[in-house]
Amino acid sequence: MRDQLTVREYFGTTLKYFAKCPHHLTGDTMTEMNFCPVCGKELEDKTTEKCPSCGETIRENTGSKKEYVGFGTRFAAYLIDSIILFIIGAGIGLCIGLMFGQLSPVFGYILGLVVVFLYFILLEASSSQATIGKKLVNIIVVNDQSARISYGQAFIRRFIITIPLVNIISAIIIDTNDKKQGLHDKAAKTYVMFKNDKRSNIVIIILIIVVVLILLTVCAAIFSYLMLGAGFFTTQKSQEITYSGIKQTTSTVLFDGTMQGVYADGLRKCSFNLKVPSGETPQKIEDIQFLWTYMNGAPVEIHDVLPATGIIQPGSSVAITLTIPQDQQPKAGEFFVLEMKPEKGPSSLVMRTLSSRYTGGPII
């Protein structure tokens, strides 16, 4: 015992103690020595399932029998994980949708893959060695040493099982081999085993599947209700906007009353009233464009407008006076066209021909 303690002090708490100990030289196994295969700490309880010092699962080294997991139990775990991922994905998608609007299908697909990969990789490579679904059915993922897998192995498992058709083949062959490995297990050199070598009760698994299916149905119904509700409110809002847009589009500004002119060797000024009918939207004067066409010339915008600013309220009218550019002033016997283009609503045209004896006043 003195020699053993000396060697233990020299090699610390590593497996080198086991390699050097006399019991090993005489053929005793590590199980008989009752030490953790990872940190080398002595285990007080030979039947312990986890090292109290490092937390690693002890299986092979405590004389326990390996119990590999078939497709049925795995599928039960998969159903549980699916509903959890559905809730997580729906929550993330809803938050992003509220912040940035509707997601493109490509972005949504990529986001879903990222969420799934992170969920399985981080949990299967964690100290628990299992996703939430696997925990509930009492199974874990291990490497060929029956220990915790690496993040690389977890990634390979998830990548292989994400490939279409390959995942189906992988599920089919699980029960065709002694170690219950699918293609993703073989590629990553991993195994799925019952934790603590205790098989899950088949009744519990069936109950879990039933509960998960019910929850999945309820979640799908709630999600559909929320989406339909959002769609209803969106449609209602769109209808309001459309109605408002139609109302704005049909908002009319009309010429009201007789047009008056100031004449001095040409029509220098043109006055008229503009009216917005009752029930329409108010109209800003500065948003109205006045285009003047003299005889067969090109339209010219008139900027000298009085008043230059103001609002024409529904049911009221405002007197407008335009000063005609000198080269655009029609003389007696000539005609002109005045087009009024409000910001919202249709344009209005007025075409007039000055009488041969016109000297000012009403333009009939």
The domain that holds 295 is classified in CATH as 2.60.40.10
- Is residue 287 domain-resident? yes
Res. 200 pLDDT band, cuts 50 70 90: low
Q: Is pLDDT above 90 for 281? A: no
State which amino acid sits at residue 316: S
- Is residue 313 domain-resident? yes
- Is residue 246 domain-resident? no
- Model pLDDT, residue 290: 93
CA 121 – CA 340 distance, rounded (Å): 68
Tell me: do 206 and 308 sit in the same domain: no
Q: What letters, b where the CB count within 10 A reaches 16 and e where it falls short, cover 182-215?
A: bbbbebbebbbbbbeeeebeeeebeebbeebeeb
Length of the chain equals 364
Q: Is pLDDT above 90 for 191? A: yes
251 versus 291: which is more confidently predicted?
291
Give the 3-state secondary structure of residue 191.
Answer: strand
Tell me: do 150 and 259 sit in the same domain: no
**Average pLDDT for 256-270:** 90
Q: How far does the chain reach from its first CA to its final CA, in angstroms? A: 128
Tell me: do 289 and 211 sit in the same domain: no
Alpha carbon separation from 239 to 153, 246, 286, 327 (Å, rounded): 53, 10, 29, 48
Question: Which range among 133-147, 197-211, 317-331 shows the weakest confidence by mean pLDDT?
Answer: 197-211
40 versus 329: which is more confidently predicted?
329
Tell me: do 211 and 336 sit in the same domain: no
Long-range contacts of 134-138 (CB under 8 A, 24+ apart): 134/77, 134/81, 134/192, 136/77, 136/80, 136/208, 137/73, 137/76, 137/77, 137/80, 137/200, 137/204, 137/205, 137/208, 138/194, 138/195, 138/196, 138/198, 138/199, 138/200
Select from 198, 219, 240 the last residue of a domain. 219
**Average pLDDT for 333-346:** 86
Res. 355 pLDDT band, cuts 50 70 90: confident
Q: Is pLDDT above 80 for 113? A: yes
- Is residue 132 domain-resident? yes
Percent of the chain with pLDDT over 90: 23
Tell me: do 102 and 211 sit in the same domain: yes
Tell me: do 10 and 134 sit in the same domain: no
Q: Is pLDDT above 50 for 25? A: no
- Is residue 299 domain-resident? yes
Tell me: do 79 and 198 sit in the same domain: yes
Question: Which range among 185-199, 202-216, 292-306, 348-362 shows the weakest confidence by mean pLDDT?
Answer: 202-216
CA 352 – CA 259 distance, rounded (Å): 10
Q: Is pLDDT above 80 for 12? A: no
Tell me: do 57 and 162 sit in the same domain: no
Select from 62, 82, 108 the last residue of a domain. 62
- Is residue 149 domain-resident? yes
**Average pLDDT for 69-88:** 87
185 versus 233: which is more confidently predicted?
185
- Model pLDDT, residue 118: 93
CA 63-64-68 angle, to 5 degrees, is: 145
Select from 162, 192, 219 the last residue of a domain. 219
CA 139 – CA 254 distance, rounded (Å): 80
CB 56 within 8 A of CB 43: no
Tell me: do 99 and 157 sit in the same domain: yes
- Is residue 105 domain-resident? yes
Query: Looking at 55-143, which runs of residues are DSSP E strands?
Result: 139-142
Number of domains in the chain: 3
Average pLDDT of the chain to the nearest whole number: 77
Q: Is pLDDT above 90 for 122? A: yes
CB 139 within 8 A of CB 199: no
Res. 48 pLDDT band, cuts 50 70 90: low
Give the 3-state secondary structure of residue 254.
Answer: strand
Tell me: do 185 and 114 sit in the same domain: yes
Task: Tell me which residue range forms the domain holding 104.
Answer: 71-219
- Model pLDDT, residue 68: 87
- Is residue 262 domain-resident? yes
Tell me: do 124 and 186 sit in the same domain: yes
Tell me: do 97 and 209 sit in the same domain: yes
129 versus 52: which is more confidently predicted?
129
Q: Is pLDDT above 50 for 60? A: no
